[in-house]
Every structure is written in structure tokens, then in C-alpha cells.
């Protein structure tokens, strides 16, 4: 087992997560939107209880993992996966190209038409966003066969970004070139329909790998020169990506609401006395309002839910993907009483507004049961992180960004369960990670 010279890096993700989630709660309470919180004491008691259990799970996971020494059964984990990156990148390019054609309602491949739509996605994202909602996909190219194939292979297309970001400096020219085409196609897929989510996800994956590289960097070791170059390159890419994401988000939201910020007023109004309006320049107030709405509205829905009845959805209410599949099998029945559906009576639309990750999990375990789930998440997150630090095996690196994405979207929803393109890769790689960690490798306590 690799010796950790700086034990502080083992807790880096939970520190970042804590800062971020506390920031979103600060934004909810003191930000530019005047949310009328229901049952304030109960709301904040629950929210901080969840954070404490997330922290405790992470701490226990780190300490537990450091007590075991594992015997490797396969040494190929340390080789750079050129072939995997190339093959998975080719899958991504093919699927993204077909998806763009389907999303835009095109009859076949037309490079000029795709470029035109991408250009509109950049110049007028608001109009392009609403256009995607009217596209007839009944006769989309590939049909259900393409959908099924792309979902089945989604765990492998998911693996492209974390692997390529991590091994970028050591990749050969061919794999770099193919990956660049793949990530461009991924960006074009989301830009062409003016959707923020996919661009944010790329930034989160990049951020998680950057954090991992930073944790592995030791200035005292001369052998770290290559890692330092890789780290600097990733930092530059991160800054450029962050700038693009913020610019794209600001322009997209502005286009959707046509400058009318009342469109973002969900059961609230603008709090012009917020200290943030005095700190942040006037030119950035629209961006502040949009980001704050996205990051805080879920907490308002959560506060209302403290008055609602526990729906007890028996393990099927924690995600949109599972709910939709269950409804197609057994009908609506008990899924009609989820927190999200109950909130309709308060003018909170499940198809428009956020509810927090906690409420989605709460459908199955109740609000008082959520701490147990948060503890498990913290524990598995810590195990995954420490495996990346100690062994740097492929499965751990591929799995790591899932936890960062899950935590980033906690104020909004259960992003992992929103669609099969997230749920299937998550289930596949996390299951593989757990199987390898606890059933394939021999462990001895030290």
C-alpha cells in the first residue's frame, strides 16, 4: 500500500463538498431571492443533520480503508489504457453524432445543418432551447434500437472523460486526437439544444480529476515533474472550461426568460436588500439571480415537505428513471403520492422546479431516514477517493466523478437517477468498484 505523506489530502473532497453545500444554504438564506421558509428550525435541523452524517460516513470510510492492505490480483491496472480510450471515444463520437441528428429533428447527417444549429445554440440559446421541445422524434433516425444500444453502452462512453483527463499527459497522439473529437462532439450535443446540464457535467468531471491530480502531487518528489506538467495543463483547461460554462449559462438563461427575471420567481420575490447585490457588480446581477435560483429553490421545496406525509414508495421513488419504469409496469398507484406530487398542491411543479436530492431519497426512507443514506454515500465516496490516491486503478478513477456530480446536484435533485444515461453507468461502475474492492481483492487488517 502506498504511504500517504500528507493525510490531509484524504479529506479534501469532503472539505470541498462541505464548503459548497454550506455556500448554497447561505445563498438560500441571504441571497437575492426572498424564500419564505416553512418550519425554519426543522428545515435547517434536517439539512445540517444530513451534512453531519455525510461527513461521518466519509471520515469512517477513510479510516476503514487505511486499515486494510490489499493483494493485487491484476497488475494491468497501472498501464495507461490507450486502446480503451480510443474505443470508448469512437463510441462517444458515433452516439453523439446520431443524438445531435435526432435532437434537431434532421432526416440524415448534414454537417452544414449541424453547424448552423450549433451556431444558433451559441448566438440565441433561449430560442434554441424552446425549439428542442417542439421537435418530433417519432421517426427519429435509429429508432428504439439506437436508444437501447446507446443506453447499454453508456457505461463505456461515460468512462472516456475521466480516463482521458487523468492520463492526458501520457496519452499518445492518436488517442489524444480521437478524444478531442469526442469531447467536441459531447459539447456540440448540448450546445445544439442550448442545455446547460451536460456542459456543467463536463466541468464537474474535469474538476474531480483536477482535485485528484492535485492530491497525488508532492512537491518534494523529483519524480513528480510529469504530474506537475499534467496538473498545470488540466488547470488551464479547467479555467477555460469554467469561463465558457458561466458565459454559456448566463446567455442561455437570459435568452430563455428574455430578460424578465419574474420568470425565475417561484413562490418568492427578489430580495433587493441582499448583501450580495452590494458586493457583486451590477453587470453580474442577472447571473447572480439565475445561479441563485438554480442552487436554492430546492431548499424551499424541502421546507414545505416537512409538513407533508411520508409517501413510502418502497424503494422506487428515489429517481425519475425508476419511477417512469415502474409506472409503465404497474401503473401509477403509490407513486402518485411522492413528495414531488404532493408539492403540486403548493404550486411547485415537479417538471419545472427543483426539490433537492434529499426529497427524492426521502420518498423511500422518509426525511428522518435520509441521514443513513447520506452516511453510506459519504462512506463509499471516501473509499473510492482513497482507492484513487492509494492504487490509482482504472475503475476507481472512472467511478470517482459520480460522487462529485451527486453532491453538486444535492440542492437540485437526484441527478444520478434522472436518466438511464446516468443511472446505468453509475450502477455499472459503482457495482464493479464494490465487487472489486470487497470480493475480488484479498484483504488483511494492518
pLDDT beyond 80 at 258: no
Task: Render pLDDT for 198-254 as a digit per residue (tens, 0 to 9).
Answer: 888 998 999 999 899 888 765 445 445 555 555 566 566 667 766 666 766 666 665
C-alpha–C-alpha distance, residues 155 and 16, integer Å? 26
Q: Kindly give, in sequence order, each residue whose CB lies less than 8 Å from that of residue 407, ignoring residues fewer than 6 positions away.
A: 17, 20, 21, 381
Nearest to 191 by CA among 262, 144, 287, 255: 255
Model confidence, pTM = 0.89
What pLDDT sits at residue 314? 87
Give the pLDDT mean for 78-83.
Answer: 73
432/338 Cα distance (integer angstroms): 31
Q: Which residues contact 279 (CB under 8 A, 6 or more apart)?
A: none
Q: How far apart are CA 147 and CA 95, in angstroms?
A: 9
Q: What is the mean pLDDT of residues 258-270?
A: 67
Average pLDDT over every residue of 338-367: 94
Distance of CA 335 to the CA centre of its chain: 25
Give 444 or 172, the one with higher predicted confidence.
Answer: 172
pLDDT grade for 285, boundaries at 50, 70 and 90: confident
Comparing 68-82, 267-281, 381-395, the range with the smallest average pLDDT is 68-82
- Kindly state the greatest CA–CA separation across the chain: 63
- C-beta of residue 160 within 8 angstroms of C-beta of residue 95: no
Contact between 158 and 425 under an 8 Å Cβ cutoff? The reply is yes
Amino acid at each position: 500500500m502506498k504511504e500517504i505523506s500528507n493525510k490531509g489530502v484524504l479529506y479534501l473532497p469532503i472539505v470541498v463538498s462541505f464548503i459548497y453545500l454550506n455556500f448554497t444554504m447561505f445563498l438560500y438564506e441571504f441571497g437575492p431571492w426572498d424564500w419564505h421558509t416553512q418550519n425554519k428550525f426543522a428545515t435547517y435541523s434536517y439539512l445540517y443533520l444530513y451534512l453531519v452524517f455525510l461527513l461521518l460516513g466519509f471520515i469512517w470510510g477513510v479510516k476503514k480503508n487505511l486499515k486494510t492492505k490489499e493483494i493485487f490480483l491484476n497488475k494491468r491496472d497501472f498501464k495507461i489504457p490507450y486502446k480503451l480510450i480510443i474505443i470508448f471515444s469512437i463510441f462517444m463520437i458515433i452516439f453523439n453524432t446520431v443524438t445531435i441528428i435526432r435532437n434537431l429533428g434532421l432526416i440524415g447527417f448534414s454537417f452544414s445543418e449541424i453547424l448552423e444549429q450549433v451556431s444558433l445554440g451559441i448566438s440565441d440559446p433561449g430560442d434554441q432551447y424552446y425549439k428542442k421541445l417542439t421537435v418530433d422524434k417519432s421517426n427519429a433516425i435509429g429508432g428504439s434500437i439506437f436508444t437501447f444500444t446507446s443506453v447499454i453502452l453508456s457505461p463505456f462512453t461515460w468512462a472516456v472523460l475521466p480516463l482521458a483527463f487523468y492520463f492526458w499527459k501520457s496519452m499518445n497522439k492518436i488517442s489524444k486526437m480521437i478524444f478531442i473529437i469526442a469531447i467536441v462532439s459531447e459539447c456540440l450535443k448540448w450546445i445544439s439544444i442550448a442545455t446547460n446540464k451536460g456542459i456543467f457535467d463536463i466541468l464537474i468531471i474535469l474538476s474531480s480529476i483536477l482535485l485528484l491530480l492535485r492530491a497525488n502531487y508532492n512537491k518534494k518528489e523529483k519524480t513528480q515533474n510529469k504530474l506537475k506538467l499534467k496538473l498545470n495543463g488540466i488547470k488551464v483547461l479547467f479555467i477555460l472550461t469554467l469561463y465558457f460554462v458561466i458565459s454559456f449559462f448566463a446567455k442561455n438563461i437570459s435568452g430563455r426568460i428574455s430578460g424578465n427575471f419574474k420568470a425565475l420567481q417561484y413562490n418568492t420575490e427578489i430580495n433587493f436588500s441582499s448583501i450580495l447585490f452590494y458586493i457583486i457588480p451590477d453587470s453580474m446581477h442577472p447571473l447572480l439571480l439565475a445561479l441563485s435560483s438554480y442552487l436554492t429553490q430546492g431548499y424551499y421545496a424541502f421546507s414545505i415537505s416537512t409538513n407533508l406525509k411520508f409517501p413510502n414508495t418502497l424503494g422506487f421513488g428515489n429517481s425519475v428513471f425508476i419511477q417512469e419504469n415502474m409506472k409503465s409496469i404497474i401503473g401509477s398507484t403509490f407513486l402518485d403520492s411522492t413528495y414531488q406530487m404532493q408539492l403540486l398542491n403548493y404550486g411547485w411543479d415537479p417538471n419545472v422546479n427543483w426539490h433537492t436530492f434529499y426529497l427524492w431519497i426521502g420518498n423511500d426512507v422518509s426525511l428522518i431516514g435520509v441521514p443513513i443514506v447520506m452516511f453510506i454515500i459519504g462512506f463509499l465516496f471516501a473509499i473510492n477517493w482513497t482507492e484513487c490516491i492509494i492504487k490509482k486503478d482504472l475503475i476507481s478513477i472512472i467511478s470517482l466523478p459520480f460522487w462529485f456530480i451527486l453532491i453538486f446536484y444535492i440542492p437540485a435533485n437526484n441527478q444520478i437517477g434522472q436518466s438511464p444515461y446516468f443511472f446505468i453507468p453509475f450502477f455499472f461502475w459503482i457495482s464493479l468498484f464494490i465487487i472489486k474492492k470487497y470480493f475480488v481483492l484479498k484483504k488483511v487488517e494492518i
